[in-house]
A = this chain, B = another copy of it.
Amino acid sequence: MQQMRDFKDFTLITPEGRITVAAHGGRAKCLQRLVRLGVPVPRTVALSFDEVLRIAEGHRPDTARLLAAFGRAPLVSVRPSSGDPDWGGPGAVLNIGMCDARADSLAETLGREAADALYLRFVMAYAEDVAHLDPEPFEQAAELGGGEAVRAALAAYEDETEQPFPQDPARQLAEVLRSMARAWETTSARLLRQARGAPADAGLGLVVQAMALGMGPGESGSGVIRMVDVVTGQRQVSGRYLRQSMGRDALGRSEEAIYLAQDERGPSLESEQPGIFDQLTEIAERCRARLREEMEIEFTVVDGALSVIDAVRVPRSARADVRIAVTLAEEGIITPDDAVLRVPPRALTELLHPQVDPAAPRDVLLKGMAASPGAAVGKLVFSSEAAQTAASQGEPCILARRETTPEDIRGMHAANAVITERGGMTSHAAVIARGLGLPAIVGATGLRLDPRRRRAITASGRVLSEGDVVTVDGSTGEALKGAAPMLEPGLDGPFRKLLAWADARRDIGVRANADTPADARMAQDFAAEGIGLCRTEHMFFEPARLTVMREMIFTDNSTDRAAALERLLPMQRADFVELFEIMAGKPVCIRLFDPPLHEFLPSDREGLRGLAEALDLPLSDVTHRVEALSEFNPMLGLRGVRLGVTLPEIYDMQARAIFEATVEASRRAGAAVVPEIMIPLVSAKREVELVRGRIDSVAVAVKTETGQEFDYRLGVMVETPRAALRSGEIAQHSAFLSFGTNDLTQMTYGLSRDDAGRFMGTYVSQEVFPEDPFHTLDRDGVGELLLLGAERGRRTRPDVVLSVCGEHGGDPDTIAFCREAGFDYVSCSPFRVPIARLAAAHLALRARESVGAGAADDGLED
């Protein structure tokens, strides 16, 4: 068959032939590599992208000559071979060549029944996939069984097409090739694969392979083998084998199939055919080592002789993906660089949270936005108080609210998941939930909460009452009835090893946003390089502190205010001592008090009455004062440094707490703690000057009182467009500039993240915005302000430390942006730290170009 090599249109796959992924697709190349490894692959011919495109355009290939390459009266299969299996493509067609005459001759070797079954199967596949006929009459024919079924199917074919079923194998093959070539070129197939990342001109190759039937006398059958567990990634032979079958029958009819390795659950190929099993595992090991990847190998046994039909990369969970990459690297099969690059950063999300078992049935109660990944089971509660009660009794609970406010923080801490009726991907509930690593569904479509009656009605009219057990799937945005089965998170050895490799390779820092000791511990566990944003306001919501806060808010003069704050000082100091100790010398960047004061005041009649009682003031006074403090646009109101300037006693107290904690933590640790203090919502240089003046004075006072020297660094959170524009002069007083991209995005777009949910879906689907700018940094607008701010800041102070804190900090695209702009670090919620670490490593490796990313990813090149 040497002449096949000279054919212009078809290429026989041999060790020496020129087969490339770019011209023939991944499957053809993989088969050649199996051939080169000496694996027994049935004779195979590859059709190039060009050839298949010509066929789609009407060229009729010389299929008779092609079939001649497979000997006399062959049966063949045709499978797709595109650049990437994820792009989809037509299904395989088996048993091409079956006709009346071939059925008769096969009946002699395999028996009539098997021959009829093969013929029927081919007629049905041809009718449906090639001739595009209605499957129903063929299904009815199949019910007749045996030869009658074949005859009925052939008659049905003739009925539908007014043509007899083609008996010429060359014509059958030509039709199959044309059908598959055209299927690739339909508009829907194009759109689908482009959505999956395929280029517009992605081609389709085809491989034509001699059938290994797996049916007939002796040990005959087919199966698949993998050297790894697809869920865990542990090394372990798995797969199935089914006698008297072919193709992937062993997977499709797994109840009839046997196991491969010895297994207590039932019979196995290893125990029944140890010779074949040994041969198979030897081949699989060879493939794994030489293809540098865990493969799923499709094989056929014909009368005791083994053929390998196909091999594909093992489909796997994210968890398995990590373990496989690490194991291959540890065994020296791939490099640690390769291992790092093989795991997509966003896939780590799946490992960081428990998941609803994908195999389990789902009774979906409601659907909203998948605002924070992971899954949790618990009893439904409708108030933060109920959540705290449940938590105190050790009962897992799911907090459902119209929307959450900072007053719900403690309820959210107590809850195992959150559902809100309103709000978008960047609503308070969503942001806080992601920070806490709490699964969350926000903006639940059609849900109507009735907190007074402690119940809710879903869009479909189902009534949920307090105490009902539900499962929140934060990865899909669905809430399920009852307790769905779960898979636990996978922060195991391979995960840590992969991230250690990533850390050794990346060249931009990753810190965590952490407000509480629990956050800080998580940040340490996820190996953040420090805290990039510690929001201090959450520290004031504990009941004892909240009361003092409210008293402070109701004071009329500086003296009374300072006295109220004096009572908060020891609590704040203790907060900071604990944070410094947990972070053990790593930097901690503390943002001074930011929210508007009215967030600390009650808004309902009951709360107001309680407050009036607590403050011993007439209710009307309290109500009036609370109303006077309310704001039209709290986002743009009296908060941040504006409070620091107008009520400077608050920052004075915080600065004192930070410095006293610095002294205490430094003493305990025997090493200097250097706190970073960040001023929020700056829009003018003078704001920084005023705050800096007072903070420096407090530092001098604390140094004098304690007799202890210490250093600290003062910087600015750049979160208004004006601060970015004026960063040149702001940097005069700032050791660091940290871009708060959440607020900066809000102000640059004039778009409240809490209110955007109502139309962001429409906007993204109509491509008004290419992406939700609260998820993916808007490079064109917000990004320009970042670059401009960074450049102007550095012009004033070349060593100014630049960073991004906020939701975007954990987004790989944003990390790429920051890295290109020469930022020092990103800071994100603790749960995104591993993703950021891995993404940063990818960027560094890609930039170095030390590794051919394509080779590492598909493992198919020699």
List chain A positions with a Cβ less than 8 A from chain B. 402, 422, 448, 624, 627-628, 631-638, 642, 645-646, 681, 683-684, 686-687, 690, 719-722, 725-726, 743, 746-752, 754-756, 758-759, 762-763, 766-769, 778, 780-782, 784-785
CB-CB < 8 A to A422: which residues of B?
A: 628
Query: Chain B: which residue is nearest A751 at the CB level?
Result: B636
Cβ B632 vs Cβ A632 within 8 A: no
Minimum CB–CB distance from A683 to chain B (whole Å) comes to 5
CB-CB < 8 A to A784: which residues of B?
A: 725
Cβ A637 vs Cβ B752 within 8 A: yes
CB-CB < 8 A to A763: which residues of B?
A: 642, 645-646
What is the bound-complex CA distance between A721 and B724, given in angstroms? Answer: 11
Cβ B721 vs Cβ A785 within 8 A: yes
CB-CB < 8 A to A754: which residues of B?
A: 631-633
Cβ B725 vs Cβ A766 within 8 A: no
Cβ A635 vs Cβ B633 within 8 A: yes
Minimum CB–CB distance from A576 to chain B (whole Å) comes to 27
Please tell me which one of the listed residues B402, B681, B762, B766 contacts residue A750 in the complex, with CB atoms under 8 A apart.
Answer: B681
Cβ B726 vs Cβ A748 within 8 A: no
Minimum CB–CB distance from A554 to chain B (whole Å) comes to 16
What is the bound-complex CA distance between A233 and B766, given in angstroms? Answer: 64
The 10 A-B pairs with the shortest beta carbon distances in the complex, nearest first, are: A636-B752, A633-B752, A637-B755, A720-B750, A722-B781, A632-B754, A721-B721, A633-B635, A633-B633, A631-B755
Minimum CB–CB distance from A647 to chain B (whole Å) comes to 9
Q: A633-B635, A638-B758 are in contact. List 17 more A-B contacts (CB 8 A).
A: A402-B627, A422-B628, A631-B755, A633-B634, A633-B754, A635-B636, A637-B758, A645-B759, A645-B763, A645-B766, A646-B762, A681-B750, A720-B750, A720-B751, A721-B748, A722-B781, A725-B781
CB-CB < 8 A to A646: which residues of B?
A: 759, 762-763
Cβ A750 vs Cβ B758 within 8 A: no
What is the bound-complex CA distance between A549 and B624, given in angstroms? Answer: 33
Write 29 A-B pairs (CB below 8 A) sorted by A numbering: A402-B627, A422-B628, A631-B755, A632-B635, A633-B634, A636-B636, A636-B746, A636-B750, A636-B752, A637-B752, A637-B755, A638-B759, A642-B763, A645-B762, A683-B748, A683-B751, A684-B769, A686-B767, A686-B768, A690-B766, A720-B751, A721-B748, A721-B785, A722-B778, A725-B780, A725-B781, A726-B780, A726-B781, A747-B750
Cβ A638 vs Cβ B683 within 8 A: no
CB-CB < 8 A to A785: which residues of B?
A: 721, 725
What is the bound-complex CA distance between A751 and B784, given in angstroms? Answer: 21
What is the bound-complex CA distance between A780 and B726, given in angstroms? Answer: 8
CB-CB < 8 A to A635: which residues of B?
A: 632-633, 635-636, 750, 752
CB-CB < 8 A to A762: which residues of B?
A: 645-646
CB-CB < 8 A to A746: which residues of B?
A: 636
CB-CB < 8 A to A778: which residues of B?
A: 722
CB-CB < 8 A to A681: which residues of B?
A: 750
**A725-B785, A726-B781 are known contacts. Are A632 and B749 too (CB-CB below 8 A)?**
no
What is the bound-complex CA distance between A229 and B422, given in angstroms? Answer: 67
What is the bound-complex CA distance between A735 and B636, given in angstroms? Answer: 32
Minimum CB–CB distance from A596 to chain B (whole Å) comes to 9
Minimum CB–CB distance from A650 to chain B (whole Å) comes to 14
CB-CB < 8 A to A769: which residues of B?
A: 684, 686
CB-CB < 8 A to A624: which residues of B?
A: 448
CB-CB < 8 A to A634: which residues of B?
A: 632-633, 755
Minimum CB–CB distance from A519 to chain B (whole Å) comes to 24
CB-CB < 8 A to A750: which residues of B?
A: 635-636, 681, 683, 719-722, 743, 747
Query: Chain B: which residue is nearest A405 at the CB level?
Result: B632
Minimum CB–CB distance from A621 to chain B (whole Å) comes to 10
CB-CB < 8 A to A631: which residues of B?
A: 752, 754-755
Cβ A781 vs Cβ B748 within 8 A: no
Please tell me which one of the listed residues B687, B747, B752, B755 contacts residue A748 in the complex, with CB atoms under 8 A apart.
Answer: B747
Minimum CB–CB distance from A821 to chain B (whole Å) comes to 16
What is the bound-complex CA distance between A690 and B489, given in angstroms? Answer: 45
Cβ A720 vs Cβ B743 within 8 A: no
CB-CB < 8 A to A683: which residues of B?
A: 748-751, 781
What is the bound-complex CA distance between A749 and B681, given in angstroms? Answer: 9
Cβ B638 vs Cβ A636 within 8 A: no
Please tell me which one of the listed residues B627, B638, B747, B781 contacts residue A755 in the complex, with CB atoms under 8 A apart.
Answer: B638
Minimum CB–CB distance from A772 to chain B (whole Å) comes to 12
Cβ A722 vs Cβ B749 within 8 A: yes
What is the bound-complex CA distance between A422 and B751, given in angstroms? Answer: 25
Query: Chain B: which residue is nearest A635 at the CB level?
Result: B633
What is the bound-complex CA distance between A89 and B459, given in angstroms? Answer: 78
Cβ B642 vs Cβ A752 within 8 A: no
Minimum CB–CB distance from A194 to chain B (whole Å) comes to 19
Cβ A781 vs Cβ B721 within 8 A: yes
Query: Chain B: which residue is nearest A720 at the CB level?
Result: B750
Minimum CB–CB distance from A442 to chain B (whole Å) comes to 13
Minimum CB–CB distance from A510 to chain B (whole Å) comes to 27
Minimum CB–CB distance from A769 to chain B (whole Å) comes to 6
Please tell me which one of the listed residues B637, B720, B748 contacts residue A720 in the complex, with CB atoms under 8 A apart.
Answer: B748
What is the bound-complex CA distance between A683 and B683, given in angstroms? Answer: 21
CB-CB < 8 A to A780: which residues of B?
A: 725-726
What is the bound-complex CA distance between A781 and B726, given in angstroms? Answer: 7
Minimum CB–CB distance from A693 to chain B (whole Å) comes to 11
What is the bound-complex CA distance between A762 and B743, given in angstroms? Answer: 24
Cβ B684 vs Cβ A752 within 8 A: no
Cβ A636 vs Cβ B755 within 8 A: yes
CB-CB < 8 A to A636: which residues of B?
A: 633, 635-636, 746, 750-752, 755
Minimum CB–CB distance from A556 to chain B (whole Å) comes to 12
CB-CB < 8 A to A638: which residues of B?
A: 755, 758-759
What is the bound-complex CA distance between A782 and B402, given in angstroms? Answer: 37
CB-CB < 8 A to A781: which residues of B?
A: 683, 721-722, 725-726
CB-CB < 8 A to A752: which residues of B?
A: 631-633, 635-637
Query: Chain B: which residue is nearest A642 at the CB level?
Result: B759
Minimum CB–CB distance from A240 to chain B (whole Å) comes to 50
Minimum CB–CB distance from A805 to chain B (whole Å) comes to 16
Minimum CB–CB distance from A688 to chain B (whole Å) comes to 10
CB-CB < 8 A to A722: which residues of B?
A: 748-750, 778, 781-782
Query: Chain B: which residue is nearest A721 at the CB level?
Result: B721
CB-CB < 8 A to A628: which residues of B?
A: 422
What is the bound-complex CA distance between A635 and B683, given in angstroms? Answer: 19
Minimum CB–CB distance from A606 to chain B (whole Å) comes to 18
